[in-house]
Every structure is written in structure tokens, then in C-alpha cells.
Chain A
Amino acid sequence: MKKVIMGNHAVSYGVRASDVKVISAYPITPQTQVVELLSEMCANGELDAKFIAVESEHSALTACVGASAAGSRTFTATSSQGLLLMHEIIHWAVGARLPIVMSNVNRAVGPPWSIWTDQNDSLSQRDTGWLQIYCESNQEVQDTIVQAFKIAETVMLPVMIVLDAFFLSHTFEIVDILEPEAVRPFLPPYRPARKIDTADPHSFGNLAGPGEYFELRYMIEKAMEDSRAVIERTDREFEERFGRGYGIVKPYRCDDADYVLVTSGTVASTTRAVVDAMRAEGIKIGSLKVRVFRPFPFDEVREVLSKAKKVGVIDRNISFGHHGIFYQEVKSALYGRTNVPVTGFITGLGGRDVTPAVIRGIAEKLIAGTNLEPDINWIGVKI
């Protein structure tokens, strides 16, 4: 069944399709509709889940930790300040190896208060051990939620699905709604090997000395590494069943491109339009959307970018005192492998529109190579 729905509701439909058992979330603009629709679904029986209407995001995620440790499939949704409030438990979920899935609507962080999009909230969680997948369409959002549970429960790490505030969260698009019955063969009920069970009591998460902690961390990284194949396989399987696949990265007209713009989120769609326009003018340009940010797709990025002459990375975020975060990551992927020059562009913070004109400006700046700062180029900032 197809429906025209907003991005936030696409999240809710993905959760519905995944037969989630415990949901705990706390409202925050621009994620609120996720929570509202899920409560509605729980209330009307569309979804056989317990909805715990907690008093904070911190509690939302800890409730998920509890429920997941009990052996139930769990979900939460948040954004920005809420995500930051969760931070301690973001780590906890990883160390506890709980396959929690969360959607985060990218929203700028205060102060000043801003409800508009940028990626600093989710990217500030990049080192926690969560898988992060950045989506660009409502369909992708819904489908990725379903994929995320399968991935998470295979590698026993939590997964964060990220979507841009308003540009996606509040944008209505046609979505082919996944029905739980159809999804079930793809995503069977969650049956964990370890759980809180009075018939088989164990203590989870107690003190570990230096003699053991290190190995536990090693295993998290190993699971991250293993997850690359799992993500790919899951996406393939999903595509086989439902006819839609998204890949780990999405290269667009890169095969013969001299210039490649690296993007993520909804900027990726805009960029593809710009690429098409510039290609029509004979400029050999392409774009690379990074969909899976954690684990970082080193091989895929390298493979695409090493053929280019110039690479520009568009970051809707900033690591203060360093550079744009995707820029850093792309550079580190290429370091020592290729000499293709990489330039960072920061734009669109706090919801400033990243229009085709902005992207075209970036592309032209990159191609021209004049007035180009080596690392950070602020695009559109009123200097």
C-alpha cells in the first residue's frame, strides 16, 4: 500500500513493520510526530507494543536498555537536545551490546535555540559504537528502520537512523508502506542468546577490571567491522524481497567524474540534481552519498574517490577546532592511498537552506580552485 506521509511517520511505519515490543520515547520538535503516531498505533492495537511515556530522553533510552536486556525488541526516537541528554546511555547500550534502534532527526544544538537541521547532534555521537545510517527519503527511512533491526540483532550493536529536520521529517512523500506480515520472514522475532531471565540468572554490566575491559572493547570494534558485510547482505536481502536497496554509499555519475561532491542526508538529493544540470553542461562531475557513516565505508569511499581529480565534501556540521566531520573522515579514508585533493565545505548549519545554487557554487569553487581554503570553506556565511 502506498501512502503520502511525512518522514516522521515513515519512521513510525518502519517501527510498526518491525514488530517492535517496547517503545519508549520523549517528544521533541521536529521528531514529535514519530512519538505521536507510535502511541496512537499502540493505543489502537495496530502495534502490539508497550509504549512507555517517560519523563525524559535519558529515561527513554534507559527504558529501552532495560527492555532490550529483557529480550524484547525496542525502539526510541529523538533529536538534538534529546539525543545529547541520552549521551551516557548511548554508550551504555553499546557496552551492553543491545540491539536498540533509534531514529534521530538531525536538529541543530542550542543555544541559541534552533529547531532546524544540521548534523552536529548525531555526529557528536559518532564514537560511541552505534551504527549510523543517514537517509534522504521517506521511503528509505521506513525501509532502513526495518533493515536496522536485522542488522542490530545480528551484530548486537545499536543502530541510529538519521534524517534531516523538516527537509525530511516534515516533508510528505509517497511511501510504499511495509506490512508486518510481509516483513516477518525477513525479520523474525527477536530471540536473544543472553537476556535477563530468572531461570538463568546472570549479572550484566558489572565491574570489569583492566584484564577484561580491553577485550570487551575489542569485540565491539570487531562487531563494527563485521557489520559492514551484514549491512550489505541485509540490504541485498531486503532488495530481493521488496525491490528496494540503498547500498552503503550511493555514487552518482562518478565512474568518469573528475569532480566528486561527497554528501549525506537530503543534501544528497539536491546535489544529484545539480550534478545532472552540470553534466548537461558537459562538466564531468558526480556525487557520492555516504549513507552508512558508522561503520565508515572506507573501501567504498576510496574506490569511488580515487578515480576523481578533485573531491569536495559538503558538511552540514562542524567539529569546532577541526573541520567538517565528513571531510575529516573522507580524508582519513584516502590518506596514503591516493593523492586526490580533498576540500571541505561547510554549509547549511542551523537549517540554512542548501539550495541547488549553493551546491553549484560549491562545485564551481571546487573546480575553479581559486580562493579555496585548504580545509574549511564556509559557504554562505555572512562575513
Chain B
Amino acid sequence: MNAPKIPLPELMTSGHLACQGCGATQAMRFALKALGPRTALVLPACCWSVIDGPFPHSSLKVPILHTAFEAAASTASGLKAGLEMRGDTETVVMAWAGDGGTFDIGIQALSGAAERNEDIIYCCYDNEAYMNTGIQRSSSTPIGAWTTTTPGVHWKKRPKKKMIDIMAAHSIPYIATASVAYPNDLIEKFRKAREIKGTRFLHVFAPCPTGWKLAPELSVSMARQAVTSKVFPLVEVTDNGRTWKVWKDFEPTPVKDYCMAQGRFRHLSEDELRLVAEGIEENWQYLLSREAGSAFVPGLQH
């Protein structure tokens, strides 16, 4: 057999409690493969607090500190400080939160930690709703989506929050989006993040078959299509928020195909779908302009 393209050692075990086809689980497995065993996790309330398994068991072979829903970044800040003061300067501390725990309830603590440039990795695995509690909208839920709190004609009318912009505005050293459909890229980004000091923000797209009314076997293909339809662009922001890089080397696929595979979008009419697609294209153009603008941001020239 060939040498594996992704690291062999497994820091996640079988038997965990994730649903069939769970993207959050893949995300964790890849991230830990990249970061290695000298990683300590902080897990706020999210699906992963269940996936980990019930006491006295755990599906991860790295230490985990479970914490309150909104407290991932602050707990991680403390954990890092505590480890350092105990003489452990090597362990990488990673806060691992859902989109709800990041975009919504945890954004304050995250902003605080990022502003202080705490030496932590903060990973948001994004399944675009509160899945743990049964599919409620978050500010990461995309426009058009059904959730149990955006039902029927009240499907979500507002676009997903521009989290990467928010993080870039904090002038932290490393920000990247990644997708479980591109494990090599994901792993490379986590590895890169591992070597950087300061707050590193990774935003990983992680499909949730249950919450998206999606056949579980399609979860990775959805993640891939999210990228190729520009719904979830792969972006890297370096140089303390100044330099933006947008990955473009893919065959574009229609937003409509992406949406129609998922029950949560199936109520959309042709017109509504077109609006959704337009919004996505607009965001894409916006990202390209950020990328193009990278070179002209004042302060870069020094």
C-alpha cells in the first residue's frame, strides 16, 4: 500500500455517539491527526459534548475539558495559562465549538480571547445550526434554510454571519476555513496553525445529515459541493488579518444542486433559489475583492 496521505495515528476511537455520517466527527479526527497527541481540548456545549461519550468514557485520546456553552475561548485561555504556569508550554490548547457556540453565544468570549491574542487554536466546526438541541437556527444558518425555529414560510431570511471578517478584524495571526471534504487541506491548515503563536481561528465546514435532512452517505459530497458552489469558500487570512487568499482551483458546481440535495432547502422556489445563489455569488465577489485588496491595506508596506 502507498504511504498514507493523512497521518495514521488515530486520536479518536470508534464507538462514539455521533449520528451516521457526522461531519463534525470527521473534522475532529482530521484535526487531531494534524495536531497530534500533545493537544488539549476545550469543548463547550455542542454535539461534540455528546459525541465524546458518557462518563466515565471518552472517544478521544487527548485530554478534554468540557465547559459551558459560551465559554470555549475563555476556558481555553485559562487552560493555556494554567498549563504554562504549571510548566507545560508545549501542549496546544484548542477550543472546539459549534457554530452556535462561536457565532452566537460564545462570540463575546471568543472576541475577548482573540483581542488578547491568546495562544490558543479556536476551531468552529460549522454544521449551521444548533444541532445538539435539535436543529435550531444560529447566526451561521444560511439564508433559505429550514430549522425548527425557522419553520415553514419563516425559513431563514438573513444570510450567514461573516465570521471570518469578524475574526480578521481582530488582527490575529491566522484564520482559515476548511472542509471535511478536503482533508489534506484541512490537515495542512491545522498543522500550519500549530506552528503559529497567538490566536488561530479555524472554521471547518462539517455537514450534519440529521439537521440538514440529508442522506448520511452524502455528507462529504455536500461538504465538497459547498466549496465548489462557493457556498463555503476556502479562505486563508494571514498577516494579522491583512492578507486574504481564496481557493479557486475547482470546477464550479451550481448552488441549486447543492441546495436541492438537502431537505432543509427543498421548500425554496426557483426564484428564491436564484436569490440565494445571487447572495452566494455576491459573497464570493466580496471575498475576491478582499483578496485583491490585500496588497493595499495600509500597514502592509512597513
Contacts and interface: CB of A to CB of B under 8 A. Distances in A.
Q: In the complex they form, do A and B come into direct contact, defined as C-beta atoms under 8 angstroms apart?
A: yes
Interface of A: 21-22, 24, 49-50, 52-56, 58-60, 62-72, 74, 88-89, 92, 195-198, 200-209, 212
A133 B86 CA distance: 28
Interface centre among B42, B63, B82, B116 (most CB of A within 10 A): B82
Contacts of A74: 78, 82
B82 A203 contact: no
B54 A207 contact: yes
B68 A206 contact: no
Contact of B55 (A24, A69, A208): A208
Interface in B95-134: 108-109, 111-112, 115-116
Q: Which of A56, A207, A208 has the most CB of B within 10 A?
A: A207
A56 B70 CA distance: 12
Contact of B82 (A21, A58, A206): A21
B81 A55 contact: no
Interface string B49-68: 11011111110111111111
B75 A70 contact: no
A185 to B, nearest CB: 21
A62 B78 contact: yes
Interface in B25-81: 37-40, 42, 49-50, 52-58, 60-68, 70-71, 73-81
Nearest to B17: A207
B79 A66 contact: yes
B259 to A, nearest CB: 34
A55 B86 contact: no
Contact of B63 (A88, A203, A207, A208): A203
Nearest to B120: A66
B277 interface: no
A63 B81 contact: yes
B3 interface: no
Nearest to B73: A59
Contact of B85 (A50, A196, A203, A209): A50
B84 interface: yes
B238 interface: no
Contacts of A71: 82-83, 86
A49 B71 contact: no
B245 to A, nearest CB: 30
B58 A66 contact: no
B236 to A, nearest CB: 27
B109 A201 contact: no
A247 B220 CA distance: 64
Nearest to A191: B86
Nearest to B39: A198
Nearest to B109: A59
B88 to A, nearest CB: 8
A66 B55 contact: no
Interface in B249-274: none
A51 B144 CA distance: 44
Contact of A22 (B37, B75, B85): B85
Contacts of B78: 22, 24, 52, 62-70, 74
B53 A207 contact: yes
A54 B54 CA distance: 31
Contacts of A92: 67-68
Nearest to B79: A66
B135 to A, nearest CB: 19
B75 to A, nearest CB: 4
B53 A59 contact: no
Nearest to B52: A206
A55 B111 contact: yes
A139 B50 CA distance: 47
Contact of A62 (B38, B50, B68): B68
Given A21-B82, A204-B66, A58 B60 contact: no
Contact of A58 (B38, B52, B74, B83): B74
B195 to A, nearest CB: 17
Contact of A63 (B38, B50, B53, B74): B74
B150 interface: no
A310 to B, nearest CB: 46
Given A71-B82, A202-B63, 11 more contacts: A21-B85, A54-B112, A59-B73, A65-B71, A66-B80, A70-B86, A88-B68, A195-B86, A203-B52, A203-B66, A207-B49
B54 A206 contact: yes
Contacts of A207: 49-50, 52-55
B91 interface: yes
Contacts of A209: 54-55
Contacts of B79: 66-67, 69-70, 196
A88 B263 CA distance: 36
| A-B interface, 10 closest residue pairs, ranked by CB to CB distance from nearest | A70-B82, A66-B78, A67-B82, A55-B112, A63-B78, A203-B58, A59-B74, A205-B66, A66-B79, A72-B82
A55 B63 contact: no
B29 to A, nearest CB: 16
Contacts of B83: 70-72, 196
Contacts of A198: 37-40, 62-63, 88, 91
B131 to A, nearest CB: 15
Contact of A196 (B65, B68, B84): B65
Contact of B64 (A53, A59, A72, A204): A204
